Amino acid sequence: FQAWNSRSETQSVFQVSALSNPFLFYSMVAAFLAQIAVVYVPALRWVFRTTPLSLSDWSWAALVALSVVVVVEIDKGIRRRNQ
């Protein structure tokens, strides 16, 4: 999520179009699909020695990752107010 936040130092991540940088968008989609493949495709699980994640595991990972969005949005709000 940090890559999405870094597209602007002052604008909210929710104000900038997801397709404003198509290379970033498609690379993030590819990275997400690769991560899912490494976790769930048996041959890749064997190579990378991974185990499938439960819904609870994914929820915790998403919660931790989204905490970065909250912190950066607060920082951007402070920056906008101080301009």
Over residues 44-61, the pLDDT tens digits come to 999 999 999 999 999 999
pTM over 0.75: no
H-assigned helices in the chain: 2-5, 22-40, 42-48, 55-82
Predicted confidence band of residue 8 (pLDDT cuts 50, 70, 90) = confident
Instruction: Tell me the two tokens of residue 76.
Output: 């951007």
Percent of the chain surpassing pLDDT 90: 51
Instruction: Estimate the share of the chain in helix, then strand, then coil, as percent rounded to the nearest 5.
Output: 70, 0, 30
